């Protein structure tokens, strides 16, 4: 379905309107900064992030709310853009909010130039990574705790002579694998206890050849208590002349930690309300998608959602989002992906030909035409879908951006409709 003629053009007015819409509705912080580092314009997400009202934020130097320890690194890159060394930069840093709370962010900065190539503005996109950084710290702490508590953990040691290639486990590791009466294991028997899928990850060749002095491997071992995930720290010992002499390793059972990490990873990729993928989950799953018949990216926006929120409140709005997510999931196949990327904004990725993408878009619009029953009463929320279909996978952000543009055009035609175009 193609948009009607005349509704999309390349006029400056249309481009400005689209920029303004994307600017104000972006789920992450967006700011325009002048060459002196003052905020000229920010969106509500940025205002919320730094804890400063938009009217106060305008004209405020970003140095005022940047953590003192992070300011100089930011300014160095900022100045390099001004003098033409670079066109932009990405940096992680911290903001200090008026209430004293520290917010950790990653900032993508791009230079905006005039017709002569001079920098006149900076466009910054700011994402809150506080939770992510906290997860990193927690993982680092757990790794340190494992090392300090090594003697109290389940597992044991092994060693391998480089010259004779003789491998032997300790009594403790042998007992962990085969029980109290088990004999020590040589290399073949130890590998025989390893999950075949993990043998390549446990390769000792770089250590035996002296290419590296230490490494870590994670693999599954068949033990007397069942299959366990082992974290194995391996180190190379050299003789007086620096030649590889022996490799020693300690294998520690970290099954519980591995399971928690997997659960944390799954949770970090899911929207907490709807259970659909979030932006991170969508990006990760998209990388793993395999398709030989093309890829369709659909941007979905709910029509009338704001009215439900305004009339019945956020609990009712959440109920509508849950229902919409369920209907969205019912419209796709097992190989497709569905994500909530904003308040009432969704992205669907269809693995297949153009007809498959159009079929999903049509089903979504049709499904959302059904009345939604809430405890407050029945409500009507429709959907508009804009999509782009490509013959092969390419940059996801670019495809989503094109789908958004088609979505805006479809909404301008009256909403409650779909449009899927073919990528150039």
Q: Which residue has the higher pLDDT, 214 or 148?
A: 214
Residue 421 has pLDDT above 70, yes or no: yes
Same topology, domains 12-128 and 154-253? Answer is: yes
Q: Name the nearest CA neighbour of 233 among 249, 212, 253, 218.
A: 249
What CA–CA distance (Å, rounded) separates 359 from 147?
54
Average pLDDT, the chain: 89
Instruction: Report pLDDT for 7.
Output: 46
Catalytic positions are 344
All structural domains of the chain with their residue ranges? 12-128, 154-253, 271-422
Instruction: Report pLDDT for 6.
Output: 45
Instruction: Report pLDDT for 195.
Output: 94
> In 3-state terms, what secondary structure has residue 385?
strand
Instruction: Report pLDDT for 143.
Output: 64
Q: Which of 61-65, 263-267, 340-344, 375-379 has the highest mean pLDDT?
A: 61-65
Q: How many CB atoms lie within 10 A of CB 195?
A: 14
Any idea which architecture 154-253 has in CATH? Answer: 2-Layer Sandwich (3.30)
Summarised one tens digit per residue, pLDDT across range 305-335 is 999 988 899 899 999 999 999 999 999 988 9
347: left (phi over 0), alpha (psi -120 to 50) or beta: beta
| Orientation of helix 314-331 relative to helix 354-367, angle to 10° | 140
What are residue 8's phi and psi, to 5 degrees? -125, 130
Residue 35 has pLDDT above 60, yes or no: yes
313: left (phi over 0), alpha (psi -120 to 50) or beta: left
**For domain 271-422, is the CATH number 3.10.150.10?**
no
Task: Tell me the mean pLDDT in the region 348-374.
Answer: 94
What are residue 171's phi and psi, to 5 degrees? -60, -40
Structure confidence at residue 51 as a pLDDT band (50, 70, 90): very high
What CA–CA distance (Å, rounded) separates 7 from 160?
72
Q: Which residue has the higher pLDDT, 137 or 89?
A: 89
Longest dimension (CA), the chain: 83
Query: Which range among 90-99, 146-155, 251-260 shows the weakest confidence by mean pLDDT?
Result: 146-155
Structure confidence at residue 269 as a pLDDT band (50, 70, 90): confident
Residues in a beta bridge with 141:
none
Structure confidence at residue 148 as a pLDDT band (50, 70, 90): low
| Strand runs labelled E in 211-344 | 214-223, 226-238, 244-253, 295-303, 337-340
Residue 4 has pLDDT above 50, yes or no: no
Q: Supply the DSSP symbol for 183.
A: P
Residues in a beta bridge with 66:
95
Element (DSSP H or E) covering residue 23: helix 12-25
Q: How far is CA 403 from CA 6, 300, 409, in A?
A: 19, 9, 10
Residues in a beta bridge with 107:
91, 126
In angstroms, the first-to-last Cα distance of the chain is 16
Topology of the domain covering 12-128: Beta-Lactamase (3.30.450)
Instruction: Report pLDDT for 290.
Output: 85
What CA–CA distance (Å, rounded) separates 54 from 218?
49
Residue 242 has pLDDT above 60, yes or no: yes
């Amino acid at each position: 379905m193609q948009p009607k003629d005349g509704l999309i053009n390349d006029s400056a007015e249309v481009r400005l309107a689209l920029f303004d819409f994307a600017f104000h509705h972006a789920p992450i912080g967006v700011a325009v900064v002048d060459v002196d580092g003052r905020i000229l314009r920010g969106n509500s997400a940025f205002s919320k992030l730094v804890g400063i009202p938009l009217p106060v934020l305008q004209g405020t130097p970003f140095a005022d709310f940047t953590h003192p320890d992070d300011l100089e690194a930011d300014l160095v890159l900022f100045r390099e853009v001004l003098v033409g060394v670079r066109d932009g930069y990405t940096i992680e840093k911290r903001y200090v909010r008026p209430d004293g709370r520290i917010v950790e962010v990653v900032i993508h900065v791009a230079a905006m130039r005039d017709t002569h190539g001079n920098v006149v503005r900076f466009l910054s996109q700011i994402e809150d990574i506080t939770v992510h950084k906290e997860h990193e710290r927690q993982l680092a702490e757990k790794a340190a705790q494992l090392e300090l508590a090594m003697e109290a953990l389940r597992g044991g040691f092994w060693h391998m002579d480089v010259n004779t290639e003789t491998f032997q486990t300790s009594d403790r590791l042998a007992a962990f694998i085969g029980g109290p009466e088990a004999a020590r294991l040589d290399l073949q028997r130890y590998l025989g206890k390893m999950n075949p899928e993990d043998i390549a990850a446990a390769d000792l060749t770089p250590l035996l050849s002296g290419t590296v002095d230490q490494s870590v491997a994670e693999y599954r071992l068949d033990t007397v208590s069942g299959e366990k995930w082992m974290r194995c720290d391996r180190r190379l010992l050299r003789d007086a002349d620096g030649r590889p002499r022996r490799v020693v390793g300690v294998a520690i059972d970290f099954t519980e930690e591995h399971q928690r990490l997997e659960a944390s990873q799954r949770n970090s990729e899911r929207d907490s309300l709807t259970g659909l993928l979030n932006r991170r989950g969508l990006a990760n799953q998209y990388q793993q998608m395999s398709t030989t018949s093309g890829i369709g990216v659909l941007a979905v926006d709910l029509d009338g959602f704001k009215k439900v929120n305004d009339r019945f409140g956020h609990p009712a709005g959440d109920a509508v989002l849950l229902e919409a997510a369920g209907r969205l999931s019912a419209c796709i196949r097992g190989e497709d992906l569905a994500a909530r990327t904003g308040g009432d904004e969704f992205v669907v990725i269809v693995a297949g030909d153009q007809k498959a993408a159009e079929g999903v878009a049509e089903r979504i619009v049709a499904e959302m035409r059904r009345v939604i029953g809430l405890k407050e009463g029945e409500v009507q929320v429709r959907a508009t879908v804009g999509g782009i279909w490509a013959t092969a996978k390419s940059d996801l952000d670019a495809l989503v951006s094109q789908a958004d543009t088609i979505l805006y055009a479809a909404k301008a035609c009256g909403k409650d409709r779909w449009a899927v175009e073919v990528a150039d």
